[in-house]
Structure 1
Amino acid sequence: MASPLPFLQLILTLLLAAARASSEPPPPNITSARPADELRKYRRISARLRSLNKPSSKSIQSPDGDIIDCVPSHLQPAFDHPLLQGSKPLDPPERPKDHESTGDMAAGWDIQLWASAGESCPEGTVPIRRTKEDDILRASSLRRFGKKPVARTRQDSSGSGHEHAVGYVVGDELYGAKASLNVWRPRLSTSAEFSLSQIWVISGSFGSDLNTVEAGWQVSPQLYGDSSPRFFTYWTTDAYQATGCYNLLCSGFVQTSNKIAIGAAISPTSVYNGRQFDISLLIWKDPNHGHWWLEFGSGVLVGYWPSFLFSHLATHATMVQFGGEVFNTRPSGFHTATQMGSGHYAGEGFARAAYFRSLKVVDWDNSLIPAANLRVLADHPNCYDIQARVNSAWGNYFYFGGPGRSVRCP
């Protein structure tokens, strides 16, 4: 049998070396650089929070943990923009001709959780969801906080992780879109993924000059910290690269409503084989001032995107899209089970699949007209599909969605 002494001597040598290493100070780049980096990061985050969280006249605690600040309308983040400083929100514009209520199940502000106990913001203020430090820390970087991932356009989505099922209309001159869409609470496989249902108003190419304004509902744990469907807006002028953001997380969108909090949770939601809950959204270009306005529910004007933010959309749109999108990260090398819409395929129909109904566009004469020549496309149809239909009650409409990873979607 071999002597254990050489082995013991080796152990003793390693222990002594470890003790000496622990008693020596770390290299200068660790002792000095790391605290300095952390301090700079903390200061940047603090500055960002100060720029977003404006002085408020009242704060409301939402049942889901959100804090809604009632900010004087002229102090909202939009007016940090150099071209908006010193100005105030504009008066309501002329609505499109033939605009009428579409029988929405949601009347407006009463379907957001923060207002469920009867709380509201005073006239002259706008309700803004307070941004917390944790919201910023969940982002991939401070620079990308509040922005969508890049390389997400529908035509180029096959390798980007972004997957779509959409109906779309193409035209030389389009000035808005309207639809009603039912709200669901899709399940996500990881907190880095999202699932949404929205309207896009688009102009420019699908390259670096893409202009969009967008609105709908989304589930995004990374952005909001939970799995609730939330009302959101977005805009970009350079294909999601450097310009634009979600909601009010940069200067741009001007909020005018004291009843709707952008980024706040929507409740209730649709029930599979049960009651369906939908909301109506209208985006249109004011023919007098050229700004893009957003209406939520039956007549609640949320606010507008100023026309000077855009290049192509400064004049008109050339495409509108309606539908769903998910971000699939494939963390294990295969498709995740993140749901789109209800998590069920279009063929299951009413009360089971997600839908868009009463699809309309705004024409050159500021008139709402049926979305004729509607085309549909699912870029990953085994995972999420879409079926277009027409009837007298809903006009042009479609069902869409799916479960993600499944027998059909390996």
Structure 2
Amino acid sequence: MKERQGIRVALVLLYLVLGTRGSTKTIIQWENASEILTYPQVNKTMMQDGDVYDCIDVNRQPALNHPFLKDHKIQMKPSSFPIGVNINSSVLHVASQADLPIVECSTGMVPILRSSRRDQTTSHNTDQFINKDVQIEEAGIRYSDDLHGVQATINVYEPKVYKDSEGYSQTGIQIDNGPMGHLDSITAFYSVSPSYFGDSFARFHVGWRDGVSNKVCFDHNCPGFVQVSYNVGLGGRLQHVSVYNGPQYAIDIFIFKDPKTNNWWLVYGQDKIPLGYWPSSLFTHMKDKGSFSFWGGHVSRPTASPHYPQMGSGHFASEGYGKAAFIGSIQIVDKNNKLVTPNEHKQLVGSSDLRKYTVDGYRVSKDGMHIYYGGPGNFV
């Protein structure tokens, strides 16, 4: 396809960015989880691929430490799904399902990743993240409309990121609302971040920001996201990732607003398994709806570093299926609570740096939008 105008997303998936082009100043509010999260009762401790998880009573999980969630009654499943959502859909998928990180906690418990591993790998550079000049690049689809949900099938790779660069590469879906500088935002994504986790695995995360405090949070690093799944370990390694010119794996992610409670739900897979939700009370501008969204890849590096991470498979979008990463089955939930294909006249497709990352293969069908995206950065 002909490349469209390059895009720069106003709110990146994990960072509050001040500025629109070139080098940007960031305000990153990494919280020390050990200072925020207290576990009154640990049922048992589990290991998953070297990560340590504590199984916590669902009613005593970190989310409920948020001041806005005092006396919050946990909603264990959505009150309903949007019109047109197919559970156990028979639609043929071109890629196998990647497995979310599974931790064998008991029913009624939720797994919480311990912070000690992350503290050990990042304590030396946490302060350096504050007010650091970073270079942000994105490639994907940006969409503006009244939004009550977004979904996509996301091809999972493990893009290469220089271990000592403090950069990262991630792909996901995001929905936002609010004025610049005070955006509410929620997102689900996978990320490769060696400087933060000490490895190069693709890990599954959720994130959010409220426009009042401007605090950026992910997983259980600060209270807010209410987990209901007893066996999915947020922040853990995804199993089965795609291989260039080989087997392909993907994750099906769906975020939507519960029309009865106004909570924003995250469900996974063709079976729409509930993972948890962001309570509407966390937000100012997203209590009712979102106003814009992003599906695509995102990379970051310090401006002082010459090392651009890979995005997606690390190959340009023009290489197509099995070689370039894809995002497919892109749909939205409209104001009538119906799952529909986005209006192609309200979207912008492109890349912020066509020399390093591209978008191609854009198409629209009854099953939604589809793109290939990504690139090598400056890996050769």
Short-chain TM bin? 0.7 to 0.9
Question: Which residue among 135, 141, 149 is the counterpart of 1:161?
Answer: 135
> In the TM superposition, what whole-angstrom CA distance separates every residue of 1:134-160 from its partner, at most 9, and x where no partner exists?
53660577689xxx9789xxxxxxx84
What is the match of residue 171 of structure 2?
197
1:126 Cα deviation from its structure 2 partner:
0.9
1:47 Cα deviation from its structure 2 partner:
4.9
Aligned partner letter, 1:122: S
1:46 Cα deviation from its structure 2 partner:
9.0
TM-score, scaled to structure 1: 0.76
Q: Mapping of 1:133-212 within 5 angstroms?
A: 134-135=118-119, 138-139=122-123, 160-171=134-145, 173-191=146-164, 192-205=166-179, 207-212=180-185
Report whether the alignment pairs 1:320 with 2:293. yes
- Name the CA distance, whole Å, in 1 between partners of 2:379 and 2:32: 40
What is the match of residue 91 of structure 1?
76
Aligned partner letter, 1:338: P
> In the TM superposition, what whole-angstrom CA distance separates every residue of 1:324-373 from its partner, at most 9, and x where no partner exists?
000122444x3x14100000000000000111001100011111001221
- Name the CA distance, whole Å, in 2 between partners of 1:53 and 1:106: 37
Question: Which residue among 102, 105, 114 is the counterpart of 1:121?
Answer: 105
TM-score, scaled to structure 2: 0.82
Report whether the alignment pairs 1:68 with 2:40. no
What is the match of residue 130 of structure 1?
114
What is the match of residue 370 of structure 1?
341
1:56 Cα deviation from its structure 2 partner:
2.0
Aligned partner letter, 1:175: H
Q: 1:166, 1:386 within 8 Å by CA — same for their partners in 2? A: yes
Flag the 1:279–1:47 CA change in 2: closer, same or farther, 3 A: closer
1:70 Cα deviation from its structure 2 partner:
1.5
1:392 Cα deviation from its structure 2 partner:
4.8
Stretches of structure 2 lacking an aligned partner (at least 5 in a row): 1-30
Q: 2:219, 2:235 within 8 Å by CA — same for their partners in 1? A: yes
Question: Which residue among 220, 226, 230 is the counterpart of 1:254?
Answer: 226
Provide the secondary structure at the position in 2 that maps to 1:340.
coil
What is the match of residue 377 of structure 2?
404
Report whether the alignment pairs 1:234 with 2:207. yes
- Name the CA distance, whole Å, in 1 between partners of 2:340 and 2:105: 35
- Name the CA distance, whole Å, in 2 between partners of 1:160 and 1:88: 40
- Name the CA distance, whole Å, in 2 between partners of 1:140 and 1:242: 24
Q: Which has the higher contact order (CA 8 A, sep 6+)?
A: 2
Percent identity (aligned): 31
Q: 2:102, 2:232 within 8 Å by CA — same for their partners in 1? A: no
Provide the secondary structure at the position in 2 that maps to 1:284.
strand
Q: 1:113, 1:264 within 8 Å by CA — same for their partners in 2? A: yes
User: How many equivalent pairs are there?
Assistant: 341
What is the match of residue 321 of structure 2?
350
Q: Which has the higher helix share?
A: 1
Q: Which entry has the higher C-alpha Rg, 1 or 2?
A: 1
Q: Which has the higher strand share?
A: 2
Flag the 1:129–1:306 CA change in 2: closer, same or farther, 3 A: same
- Name the CA distance, whole Å, in 2 between partners of 1:250 and 1:174: 26
What is the match of residue 3 of structure 2?
none
- Name the CA distance, whole Å, in 2 between partners of 1:227 and 1:287: 39
Stretches of structure 1 lacking an aligned partner (at least 5 in a row): 1-43, 152-158
Flag the 1:243–1:135 CA change in 2: closer, same or farther, 3 A: same
